[in-house]
Structure 1
């Protein structure tokens, strides 16, 4: 059986230039909000780690939870920051 999608290329201009500008603004707004959320989670994780490491009341469990939160937020932030590069690499590798 032949591939029915062979030679087809996605075209995102089907709604005209106004629609293209709108969905691009929407995607970049969502991307920017996701970056801000990951920065907030990173800050919360770092503050949690610092609070758990105080000299007056050290708490290893809270420090570990804060570290885990900060680590995941840092990985998420790096992924979001490099999202265009990641998508471009995947598309160039596949296509």
Structure 2
């Protein structure tokens, strides 16, 4: 209980301060925005490649001549993980926006 009273008495040093990404000028802002967009795009491309690999593994494992349930399950797990990553990357702007609106 004593710790709660101390924490309540301390003033938040970041109260009222908002992040400002324009500290380096217009050129720097354009540069970091392009860099973030490029990394984001590369992440989406990688997730798509892993999704394709998972789907191909599933298709190869569910062959009519030689079905392999374990390989199918592994391919499904890879495809599902890649799909979740792809959805998260596609919705990244919304996720960050919602997170910052709740934090702010």
Say whether the fold is shared (TM-score over 0.5). yes
1:58 positional shift: 0.6
Equivalent residue of 2:20, what SS?
coil
Which stretches in structure 1 are left out of the alignment for 5+ residues?
none
Which stretches in structure 2 are left out of the alignment for 5+ residues?
1-9
TM-score, normalized by length of structure 1? 0.98
1:21 positional shift: 0.2
* Runs of 4+ off more than 4 Å: none
Equivalent residue of 1:63, what SS?
helix
1:93 positional shift: 1.2
TM-score, normalized by length of structure 2? 0.90
Which protein is bigger by CA-based radius of gyration? Answer: 2
Q: Distance in 2 between matches of 1:92 and 1:8?
A: 15
